[in-house]
A and B are shown apart, each in its own frame.
Chain A
Amino acid sequence: AQKVTQAQTEISVVEKEDVTLDCVYETRDTTYYLFWYKQPPSGELVFLIRRNSFDEQNEISGRYSWNFQKSTSSFNFTITASQVVDSAVYFCALSEGNRDDKIIFGKGTRLHILP
């Protein structure tokens, strides 16, 4: 069965610090997709990234970077030089095969960036 674990329920860091959000997943499929979403206080989920299981290359987008390691079934998300606007709940998620329509979410990590 597929499962996504975000062990960090809540994290607080001071602005400008780097912070890493952990994500560990379980799946029996060899083809799967991993996602990160951001949920600000307004409630709408915002798509951040999608990574397929065959592409282990790390990705950087501005202050955001993602580290995908199949050997440890992890897909961690790092925010560099955090800002107060980064405060939100972040969800890691998984879909199997070509079923992007059914996404299994982790419980989320609430990130507080303190000024």
Chain B
Amino acid sequence: KAGVTQTPRYLIKTRGQQVTLSCSPISGHRSVSWYQQTPGQGLQFLFEYFSETQRNKGNFPGRFSGRQFSNSRSEMNVSTLELGDSALYLCASRDFSYEQYFGPGTRLTVT
């Protein structure tokens, strides 16, 4: 079974721009969660989607949004990028068990 894939792996954007990151979960997994990892704040939960519905959301501003498609693939969008949005964005998927499988992440650099 293929693991969780995230595209792109690396991204450089300019302040004020917007960005869309993609996550393809493991086949059969319907839950997708997103996390932001920075040196200062560590790993922080962004949101979780299950069957195209957002079930839970972390404490991030409205500039961070996401969605999930019928094939369970998920995208997250960050609008009006700020320098502080530079981070590793991790996606994780799971089935009905508790174990989350993480992807390799997308490293976003905002200049």
Contact = CB atoms under 8 A, between A and B. Distances in A.
Interface of A: 33, 37, 42-47, 50, 91, 93, 99-108
B30 to A, nearest CB: 11
A37 B90 CA distance: 13
B56 A99 contact: yes
A45 B104 CA distance: 8
A79 B71 CA distance: 40
A45 B90 contact: yes
Q: Chain B at the A interface: mostly helix, strand, loop or mixed?
A: strand
Contacts of A108: 42-43
Interface of B: 31, 33, 35, 42-45, 48, 50, 55-56, 58, 88, 90, 92, 94, 98-105
A44 B43 CA distance: 12
B98 A43 contact: no
6 contacts: A101-B48, A102-B45, A102-B56, A103-B33, A105-B44, A108-B42
